Amino acid sequence: MPPILFWFLATLSVVSALGVVLQRNPVHCLLALVLTLLAIAVLFIGQGAVVVGFLQAIVYAGAIMVLFLFVIWLLNLPVVTGSTGRLAAKLLGAVGVAALLAELEVFWVPSHLQVKAAQHAAGYGAIDALSQTLFSEYLIAFEVTSVLLLVAVVGAVALARRTTDAEVQSQAGNSSRTEKAA
């Protein structure tokens, strides 16, 4: 992957990541996030991970972000004026983040990481290679993940469905009790 492409994509992803964090309107944040995801997807493909890159674009940017968008529209939030967060929290967060960044930088400075790339095998990043590894070494993880998805589906449906009046009553009773205890 030519360096110039990398720098372009890197700048794009950083700028849009900042956009996610700094924009006021949640929808704008979402759009910036989609842009970041797409930039990263291209970076994946540039590294030779073609399948994963496409999956990133299709599944992540395509499905998950759309889901986010649906929820934002569903909630129909009024646009909030004023600051997006407390200044003290932002400063403190900035300091912490800077510290983390500095540490991580130190890791990558040493020269032993400037090694030559290993030669990619033929068909590296193709669906064959992916499924070979996936279904042999990571089979159990694969099966468990499928159960996880099932659980997630059930949980999401259970949490988000409209509750009946009786359930609202008992919920109200529970939450008021917990509030009293707190």
Partner 1 sequence: MNVEFAALSLILVFPALGVLFNLFLGPRLGRSAVNVVGPGVMFVAFAVATWAFLSILAMPAGSALYCPLWRWLEAGKFHVELGLRVDALSGVMVMIVTGVGAFIHLYSVGYMAHDEDYARFFTYLNLFAFSMLILVLADNLVMMFVGWEGVGLCSYLLIAFWYTNPEFAYNGRKAFIVNRIGDAGFLLGIFTILATLAHHGVWSLNFVEMQAHADMFDVTAATAAGLLLFLGATGKSAQIPLYVWLPDAMVGPTPVSALIHAATMVTAGVYMIARMNFLYVLAPDAMAVVATIGGLTAFFAGTIAIVQPDIKKVLAYSTISQLGYMFLGVGSGFFAAGIFHVMTHAFFKGLLFLCAGSVIHGMGGEQDMNKMGALRHKMPITFWTMLIATLAISAVPGFSGYFSKDLILEGAYESGHFWLWLLGAITAGITGFYMFRLIFMTFFGESRVEPDKMHHLHESPPVMTIPLIVLAVLSAIGGYVGLPEGLLWGDAFAKFLSPVVGNFKPAVEASPAMLSLVATSLGMLGILLAYIFYLRMPGLPMILAWRLKGLYELLLEKYRIDELYNLLITRPLFFISDYILNRGIDQTLIDGTANGAGLAVESSGEVARRAEDGNVQHYAFVYLLGVIAIVGYYLYLVVK
Partner 2 sequence: MVQLSWLMELSAAIFAIGVAGFLSRRNILVMFMSIELMLNAVNLAFVSLGSRMGTMDGQVIVFFVMTVAAAEAAVGLAIIISIFRNRETVNADDLTLLKW
Interacting residue ranges for partner 1, rule: CB under 8 A? 89, 92-93, 96-97, 99-100, 103-104, 106-107, 110
Comparison of 107 and 165: residue with beta carbon closer to partner 2: 107
51: contact with partner 2 by CB under 8 A: yes
- 66 is in the binding site of which of partner 2, partner 1, none (Cβ under 5 to 8 A by kind)? none
**42 Cβ neighbours under 8 A, 6+ residues apart:** 9, 53
Work out how close the CB of 97 gets to partner 1 at its nearest, in angstroms, rounded to a whole number: 8
DSSP 60: I
Q: φ, ψ for residue 115 (rounded to 5)? A: -75, 165
Cα separation, 91 vs 99, in Å, equals 12
132: contact with partner 2 by CB under 8 A: yes
12: contact with partner 2 by CB under 8 A: no
| CA-to-CA separations, 82 to 24, 37, 86, in angstroms, rounded | 9, 28, 10
Work out how close the CB of 116 gets to partner 1 at its nearest, in angstroms, rounded to a whole number: 21
160: contact with partner 2 by CB under 8 A: yes
Work out how close the CB of 126 gets to partner 1 at its nearest, in angstroms, rounded to a whole number: 34
- 106 is in the binding site of which of partner 2, partner 1, none (Cβ under 5 to 8 A by kind)? partner 1
Q: Report DSSP letters for 109-124, one per residue.
A: -SGGG-PPPPPPPTTT
Cα separation, 158 vs 36, in Å, equals 32
Comparison of 108 and 166: residue with beta carbon closer to partner 2: 108
